[in-house]
Amino acid sequence: MAPRPYSSIMTLAIRTTLAIFVFAGGAYAQQTPAWTEPFPPFHIAGNLYYVGSKGLANYLIATPQGHILINSDLEANVPLIRASVEKLGFRFGDVKILLISHAHWDHDAASASILRATGAKYMVMEGDVPVVESGGKADFQYGADASARYPSAKVDRVLHDGDEVKLGDAVLVAHLTPGHTKGCTTWTMKVREAGKTEDVVIVGSPNVNPGYKLVDNPLYPEIASDYERTFRVLKSLPCDIFLGAHGGYFNMEGKYARFKELGAAAFVDPDGYRKFVAEKEKEFRAELTRQRGVPR
Ligand SMILES: [Zn+2]
């Protein structure tokens, strides 16, 4: 890259500072363009399909008795999700169960709208129930931020760690992986592909967001030990096919490029999964150490 004149470096520096300021200053629910950018739907393995956008992951588990959809995303994503489901040859109206990765607007803001459109049952992990039922107001971090709110949705079944969600021949297991939200959920299932059974892990989120208070947090006193639990759980899960709430977790675009030759094998990545979990745990521990070191 050619060297930039001083003035443009300054402009860039000011812009970057402003962007960080806005981000940290409360307008957290700003969108990333990739969140609403369409992505081709595709068959991952067994009865599992990708029906998300470039930046927000949605999964369809299709059965003859109806379908399970993971994540509702933003309102703007609903037409994209519907189009993806239909492009794969399924009916959006056959979605019988709606699940989420965790109760943040980028994964659950359109739940009320999808529940209305499909008549699906909403099943949510206990710790996230007050958040989804209050449209984001009960969130420990963003509850006071109007830009992080969305239409509230009634939960039909409250899930607990280890609960199974069954529909037709599909069985998903809900693993409580809290910290990022109180009910953050990592979904696992088994798929049969080319005569083999593969373990699928759909990571909820192990991220410590900017501004998260890991020490002496009156709104979430057990946040640090919850993250500890999350890393214990994630490390214990058998994983062949590595997926998550955002495509960025598992390099979806890179893997999709190889998907055309390799098929489902492109998403088999146990090493990538272990590396991702180890990296996120390192980030969490560094942040915890930093916050513990700050004199109070
Ligand atoms: Zn989140």
Rounded to an integer, the average pLDDT of 228-252 is 97
Strands 48-50 and 42-45: antiparallel
- Given a contact cutoff of 8 angstroms between Cβ atoms, the answer to whether 288 and 224 are in contact is yes
SS3 of the chain: helix, strand, coil, percent, to 5? 40, 20, 40
Name the residue with tokens 């199974």: 164
Distance in Å, CA 111 to ligand 1 centroid: 15
What b/e readout covers 126-155, taking b as 16+ CB neighbours within 10 angstroms? bbbbbbbbebbbbbbbbeebeebbbbbbeb
pLDDT in tens, 111-151: 999 999 999 999 999 999 999 999 999 999 999 999 899 99
Q: Can you tell me the distance from the alpha carbon of 217 to that of 220, in angstroms, rounded to the nearest whole number?
A: 5
Distance in Å, CA 180 to ligand 1 centroid: 6
Higher local confidence (pLDDT), 39 or 264? 39
- Given a contact cutoff of 8 angstroms between Cβ atoms, the answer to whether 108 and 162 are in contact is no
Name the residue with tokens 């500072």: 17
Distance in Å, CA 179 to ligand 1 centroid: 10
- Give the full edge-to-edge strand order of the sheet including 241-244: 164-167, 170-176, 185-193, 196-203, 241-244
Distance in Å, CA 194 to ligand 1 centroid: 34
pLDDT bracket for residue 294 (50, 70, 90): low
Distance in Å, CA 103 to ligand 1 centroid: 7
Query: Cα angle at 142 between 209 and 154, to 5 degrees?
Result: 115
pLDDT bracket for residue 295 (50, 70, 90): low
Distance in Å, CA 65 to ligand 1 centroid: 31
Bridge partners (DSSP) listed for residue 164: 173
Question: 205 CB contacts (<8 Å, ≥6 apart)?
Answer: 101, 102, 104, 177, 180, 181, 184, 244, 245, 246
Question: 40 CB contacts (<8 Å, ≥6 apart)?
Answer: 256
Distance in Å, CA 205 to ligand 1 centroid: 7
Q: What are phi and psi of 56, to 5 degrees?
A: -120, 125
Q: What are phi and psi of 231, to 5 degrees?
A: -70, -35
Strands 66-70 and 59-63: antiparallel
Residue 16 has pLDDT above 80, yes or no: no
Best CA proximity match to 251, nearest among 230, 266, 236: 266
Give this prediction's pTM: 0.89
Provide the percentage of residues in the chain whose pLDDT is more than 70: 89
Q: Can you tell me the distance from the alpha carbon of 253 to that of 243, in angstroms, rounded to the nearest whole number?
A: 12
Give the pLDDT confidence score for residue 10 in this predicted structure. 41
Distance in Å, CA 31 to ligand 1 centroid: 13
Question: 108 CB contacts (<8 Å, ≥6 apart)?
Answer: 71, 72, 100, 102, 132, 150, 153
Distance in Å, CA 6 to ligand 1 centroid: 37
pLDDT bracket for residue 31 (50, 70, 90): confident
Residue 40 has pLDDT above 70, yes or no: yes
Give the pLDDT confidence score for residue 29 in this predicted structure. 52
Distance in Å, CA 11 to ligand 1 centroid: 31
Name the residue with tokens 């001083």: 6
